[in-house]
Copies of this chain bind each other. A is one copy, B any other.
């Protein structure tokens, strides 16, 4: 199956220095993939002279005269940057010229622009960011990771509905387990939104297993396929985990360099430490999908390097192939039809 992905080539902390090598890696890996790199034509053409010869059909450049700054406010970007690489890349999805868009640009601007250009799927009040986190059981899908800071029970319910479609499509799991992030597993625990959402989820067709605590994101007692949270909480949990992993890695490095003997031990242990480092490499988990719009947008970490950005493009490839957006649209059409039948 051939597929086309638009790349916001100027987005992120490093712009085309990262997006170009990542794109070329993906083109080499997947002969069915076409990429449209969006950005300053002059800069892109100069860096892509050889690549355009190597991939005459599968590598395209789309000019965009502007660039959204990393600290620009979403509303300003939306108003003043109508020819930004981000906006044009998303337009290509709306116009059916690309199946998905990947950007490492300013998160707020990306979400506002995607929402404005692509529009919401009928039945979904708020789009949400979903990604996987590594866990001792493999990995866990989590949403919302920060698209919404004030969610009510209905939003959490819709997040669960969307997230389950992603897990089903990508992981090929028939009836994914769904947990609701909370401060305790007992029924009495939680704030009002969570308690109300628990009722909706328990009454739904989903395989809802109840409340789960923060440690379930990476190391719960059992495997949970999908964990649902308010975007405020989800984002803080995600960043807390990033910080914890960084701290532990830092401690490990310190322990292996505290004196000559430990440094020598570190040299001996290098292959093992390398394999360990790879097993918790956050770059292999880069890329959150913005769900709930009539088109797919993948948000890469702003500071992503080429390997991390490559991961984000791979996520786009998989989600396009598995028709994630189409499945969410269908699901919410079915929910609407059920309601109409009542």
- Say whether chain A's binding surface is mostly helix, strand, loop, or mixed: helix
Complex Cα–Cα for A213 and B183 (A)? 19
A323 contacts B by Cβ under 8 Å:
no
Q: Is the CB of A219 within 8 A of B236?
A: no
In the complex, chain A residues 256-270 whose Cβ is within 8 Å of any chain B Cβ: 256, 258, 261-262, 265-266, 268-269
In the complex, chain A residues 198-226 whose Cβ is within 8 Å of any chain B Cβ: 213-220
Complex Cα–Cα for A269 and B271 (A)? 13
Q: Which of A191, A231, A247, A273 has the most CB of B within 10 A?
A: A247
Q: How many copies does the complex hold?
A: 2
A279 contacts B by Cβ under 8 Å:
yes
Question: What chain B residues lie within 8 Å of A271 (beta carbons)?
Answer: 261-262, 265
A284 contacts B by Cβ under 8 Å:
no
Q: Which of A149, A192, A244 has the most CB of B within 10 A?
A: A244
Complex Cα–Cα for A206 and B268 (A)? 49
Q: Is the CB of B219 within 8 A of A250?
A: yes
Q: Which of B190, B215, B279 contacts A243 (CB 8 A)?
A: B215
A238 contacts B by Cβ under 8 Å:
yes
Q: Is the CB of A218 within 8 A of B240?
A: yes
Chain B: CB-nearest residue to A191: B149
With A236-B181, A255-B276, A279-B254 in contact, is A246–B136 under 8 Å at CB?
Answer: yes
A71 contacts B by Cβ under 8 Å:
yes
Complex Cα–Cα for A75 and B154 (A)? 30
Query: Could you name 20 residue pairs across A and B whose Cβ atoms are closer than 8 Å?
Result: A150-B192, A214-B236, A214-B239, A214-B243, A218-B244, A219-B242, A220-B243, A229-B236, A236-B236, A236-B237, A240-B241, A240-B244, A251-B276, A251-B279, A252-B252, A252-B276, A255-B275, A256-B269, A265-B269, A265-B271
Give A residues with C-beta under 8 Å from B: 71, 73, 108, 134-136, 146, 149-150, 181-183, 186, 188-192, 213-220, 229, 231-233, 235-252, 254-256, 258, 261-262, 265-266, 268-269, 271-273, 275-276, 279-280
